[in-house]
């Protein structure tokens, strides 16, 4: 139903995103997208690139008088640092990065050709796409939010800041866990009928596609492993408002289908792979031991990764909404949605 494509290198001219399948009649402003782009750049522990770039989107297609036309939406984010042709070659791959794997796969002899696209700079385009999807979801009172749960094993705000400060002092990096919550999601999105239609798999795959994400859990997640079924499954009740659960260990999804509770998803963001004090590596030209390359980077991006995860989750949820309630016209989708809510209540 929905499709998107992004293009652009970290230090190239611009990032480009195309979103196809958004219905006609959705009002959009570039300022709404820019707010999300600004959120992606925030957070203690971000690097010098955030001082250079002030991400702003240009909507270059798909709108007339700020209304979607059901044609592909084109989004453009210019890079201020457009130095890709001037930057030095890189020959010592960084452990934990796509450097060596990408070089082997595509036959490059300069790791710069890998890292320019593998860079998390590309997530600015992802957030722009997610911002459009959020605007659509808000028409149905569905809202997404995120927060850092822990950083470097610490969970209080002060302790998290101290862990990042420690990493900055030590010229190191630090990762952590963030949580995404989608509130107001109706029951019935996704399907158990085929594996690729299970919403849990679609959400999990989308979040795992974000650079640096190494684990995802929904609801109680790994907490299911050491408990009995009677302790974890969510009892069902009914009232005038419809069916609900007394707890939400399932994280809003049962059998690959939303159950009407909040979707709760957590993910682990690894420490950034680029280190100021680099690890041991090998020079791909000489095959001799060397220190890994050092590039401009961040110390901690857990908060920003949560914003990116909101965006990919918004895309998946918007796709699931269109899958169930129609795609062409926003007014028709709203009518179908209203009738559905009446039926399930």
pLDDT recorded at residue 296? 82
| pLDDT for the residue numbered 216 | 98
CATH topology of domain 87-344: Chorismate synthase, AroC fold (3.60.150)
* pLDDT for the residue numbered 271: 97
**Which of the residues in the chain have pLDDT under 70?**
48-52
Claim: this prediction has a pTM higher than 0.85: yes
> For 33-63, how does the pLDDT look when each residue is reduced to its tens digit (9 = 90+)?
999 999 999 888 887 666 667 899 999 999 9
Instruction: Give the model's pLDDT for residue 45.
Output: 85
User: What are 334-343's pLDDT values in tens digits?
Assistant: 999 999 999 9
Evaluate whether 173 touches 120 at the Cβ level (below 8 Å): no
Confidence at residue 49, expressed as pLDDT on a 0 to 100 scale: 61
Alpha helices in the chain (DSSP H): 30-40, 49-52, 99-106, 112-118, 123-138, 157-169, 199-208, 229-232, 302-325, 330-344
DSSP annotation string for 96-144: TSSHHHHHHHHT-S-THHHHHHHSGGGHHHHHHHHHHHHHHHHTTT-EE
Beta bridge mates, 178 = 148, 267
**Tens digits of residue pLDDT in 246-269:** 999 999 999 999 999 999 999 999
Residue 60's φ and ψ, nearest 5 degrees, are: -105, -5
Largest CA distance in the chain: 73
Q: Cβ distance 28 to 63 under 8 Å?
A: yes
The domain ranges of the chain are 87-344
Q: Which residues, in sequence order, are CB contacts of 16 under 8 Å at separation 6+?
A: 6, 7, 8, 74, 75, 76, 77, 125
Whether the CA torsion 335, 338, 341, 342 is positive or negative: it is: negative
Three-state secondary-structure class, residue 298: coil
Which pLDDT belongs to residue 57? Answer: 97
């Amino acid at each position: 139903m929905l499709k998107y494509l992004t293009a652009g290198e970290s230090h190239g001219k611009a990032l480009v995103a195309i979103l196809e399948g958004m219905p006609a009649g959705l009002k959009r402003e570039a300022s709404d997208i820019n707010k999300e782009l600004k959120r992606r750049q925030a957070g203690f522990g971000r690097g010098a690139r955030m001082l250079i770039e002030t991400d702003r989107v240009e909507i270059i297609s798909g709108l007339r008088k700020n209304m979607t036309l059901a044609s592909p939406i084109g989004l453009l984010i210019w890079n201020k640092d457009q130095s890709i042709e001037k930057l030095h070659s890189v020959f010592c791959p960084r452990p934990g990065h796509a450097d060596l794997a990408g070089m082997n796969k595509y036959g490059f002899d300069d790791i710069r050709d890998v890292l320019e696209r593998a860079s998390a700079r590309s997530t600015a385009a992802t957030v722009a796409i997610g911002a459009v999807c959020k605007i659509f979801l808000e028409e149905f009172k569905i809202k997404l939010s995120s927060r850092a749960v822990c950083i470097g094993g610490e969970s209080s705000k002060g302790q998290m800041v101290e862990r990042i400060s420690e990493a900055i002092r030590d010229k190191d990096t630090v990762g952590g866990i963030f949580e995404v919550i989608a509130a107001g999601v109706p029951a019935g999105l996704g399907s158990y009928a085929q594996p690729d239609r299970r919403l849990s798999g679609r959400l999990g795959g989308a979040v795992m596609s974000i650079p640096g994400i190494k684990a995802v859990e929904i609801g109680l997640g790994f907490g299911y492993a050491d408990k009995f079924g009677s302790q974890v499954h969510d009892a069902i009740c009914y009232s005038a408002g419809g069916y609900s659960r007394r707890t939400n260990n399932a994280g809003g999804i049962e059998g690959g289908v939303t159950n009407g509770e909040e979707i709760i998803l957590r993910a682990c963001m690894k420490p950034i792979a680029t280190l100021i004090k680099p690890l041991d590596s090998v020079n791909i030209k000489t095959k001799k031991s060397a220190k890994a390359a050092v590039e401009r980077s961040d110390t901690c991006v857990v908060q920003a990764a949560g914003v990116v995860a909101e965006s990919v989750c918004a895309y998946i949820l918007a796709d699931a909404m269109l899958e169930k309630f129609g795609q062409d016209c926003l007014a028709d989708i709203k009518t179908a949605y209203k009738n559905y809510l009446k039926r399930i209540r």
